[in-house]
């Protein structure tokens, strides 16, 4: 029997299939998959859920009633609920045909084929389930009467873009953001620590909520044409881009107006900080007017930054006065 000679080609082929090489390939695939999941969470927008909880905590601290455990639980509920909402939007917008190959915003994981629809749907409900578990922990501190609030939050996550009456497709997205990224997290984060409500917490929750609405406005302003074709009746689709520009500016002005209880007590240097923020806000607003298409993605990120910066200003005012 003739022996087969081993060639350089055979050695090269064997090396390419070595366990270490296979391991490196698997590791690379796992790292890429993890990156896709992190991108699907939309980390740049998570300040919208972080900011109102921090504001509620600062209000409680001002009353000498800050409690770290319920505060942490509120933070986890807010972050997990927003991540679940982002996952749900990724999945259901794909199902509705709102995400297509010509999407102007950051790539959606399901529409691009990076994450399968069943995996995204499963991740949505797992993340939402974790948020609900943290919410049950809050009830131990604030009482079971808050359960309907938790149920409303849990139902709103899928109802925003799914079900027989998807809120985002019926022009109610802005109202949802005002409620669940402003009024609810600020007022109830404050309540679970102080065990009472206050008028100041309500006014400041409106400030946080209105600035968060601007994140949605930029998103819908950018996607106006695609949303119109897909039948997604956002406020911008219903009333036009000019309405979106006016609403963006009005939200920023009203956010400062609702902060007057703090502004009227501010020192000169704090007043200058608020003025500097308003100049920054106007700069971002002018970007909204000037830019188009994918270029508005940077405006979206800067709008989310503005929410966080203004929250920090309010927190500083609460701690100093």
What is the CATH classification number for the domain harbouring 262? 1.10.600
- Give the C-alpha separation, 20 to 6, whole Å: 22
Structural domain total, the chain? 1
- Domain assignment present for 15: no
Write down the pTM of the prediction. 0.86
- Domain assignment present for 184: yes
DSSP string spanning 254-304?
A: HHHHTTHHHHTT--HHHHHHHHHHHHHHHHHHHHHHH--GGGHHHHHHHHH
Residue 138 is encoded by which pair of tokens?
Answer: 């809050």
pLDDT of residue 277: 97
The residue segments making up the domain with residue 280 are 43-320
Q: Does residue 219 contact residue 177 with C-beta atoms inside 8 Å?
A: no
- 164-182 per-residue burial string, b: 16 or more CB within 10 A, e: under 16: eebbbbebbbbebbbbbbb
Phi-psi sector, 286: left (phi>0), alpha (psi -120 to 50), beta: alpha
pLDDT of residue 230: 81
pLDDT of residue 28: 52
- Domain assignment present for 158: yes
User: What is the pLDDT tens value at each position of the chain, 321 positions in all?
Assistant: 444 554 545 434 443 444 444 445 444 555 568 888 998 898 888 989 999 999 999 999 999 999 999 999 999 999 999 999 999 988 988 887 766 656 666 777 888 888 999 999 999 999 999 999 999 999 999 989 999 999 999 999 889 888 788 888 899 999 999 999 999 999 999 999 999 999 999 999 999 999 999 999 999 999 998 888 888 899 999 999 999 999 999 999 999 999 999 999 888 999 999 999 999 999 999 999 999 988 999 999 999 999 999 999 999 999 987
pLDDT of residue 93: 82
Residue 169 is encoded by which pair of tokens?
Answer: 């497709």
Q: Does residue 309 contact residue 277 with C-beta atoms inside 8 Å?
A: yes
pLDDT of residue 131: 96
- Domain assignment present for 32: no
- Domain assignment present for 12: no
- Domain assignment present for 301: yes
């Amino acid at each position: 029997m003739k022996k087969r000679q081993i060639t350089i080609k055979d050695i090269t082929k064997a090396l390419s299939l070595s366990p270490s090489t296979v391991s490196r390939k698997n590791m690379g695939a796992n790292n890429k998959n993890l990156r896709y999941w992190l991108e699907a969470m939309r980390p740049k927008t998570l300040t919208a859920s972080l900011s109102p909880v921090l504001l509620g905590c600062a209000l409680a601290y001002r009353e000498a009633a800050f409690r770290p455990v319920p505060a942490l639980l509120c933070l986890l509920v807010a972050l997990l609920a927003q991540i679940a909402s982002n996952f749900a939007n990724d999945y259901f917008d794909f199902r509705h045909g709102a995400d297509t190959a010509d999407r102007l915003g950051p790539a959606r994981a399901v529409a691009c084929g990076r994450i399968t629809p069943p995996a995204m749907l499963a991740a949505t409900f797992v993340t939402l389930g974790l948020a609900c578990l943290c919410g049950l922990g809050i009830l131990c501190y604030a009482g079971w009467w808050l359960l309907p609030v938790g149920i409303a939050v849990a139902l709103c996550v899928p109802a925003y873009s799914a079900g027989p009456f998807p809120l985002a497709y019926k022009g109610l997205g802005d109202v949802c953001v005002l409620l669940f990224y402003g009024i609810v997290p600020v007022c109830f984060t404050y309540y679970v620590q102080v065990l009472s409500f206050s008028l100041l917490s309500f006014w400041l929750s409106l400030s946080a909520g209105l600035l968060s609405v601007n994140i949605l406005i930029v998103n819908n302003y950018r996607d106006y044409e695609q949303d119109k074709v897909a039948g997604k009746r956002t406020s911008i689709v219903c009333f036009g881009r000019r309405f979106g520009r006016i609403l963006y500016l009005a939200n920023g002005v009203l956010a400062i107006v609702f902060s007057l209880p703090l502004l009227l007590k501010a020192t000169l240097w704090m007043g200058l900080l608020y003025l500097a923020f308003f100049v920054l806000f106007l700069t971002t607003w002018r970007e909204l007017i000037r830019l188009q298409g994918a270029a508005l993605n940077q405006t979206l990120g800067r709008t989310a930054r503005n929410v966080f910066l203004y929250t920090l200003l309010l927190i500083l005012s609460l701690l100093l006065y």
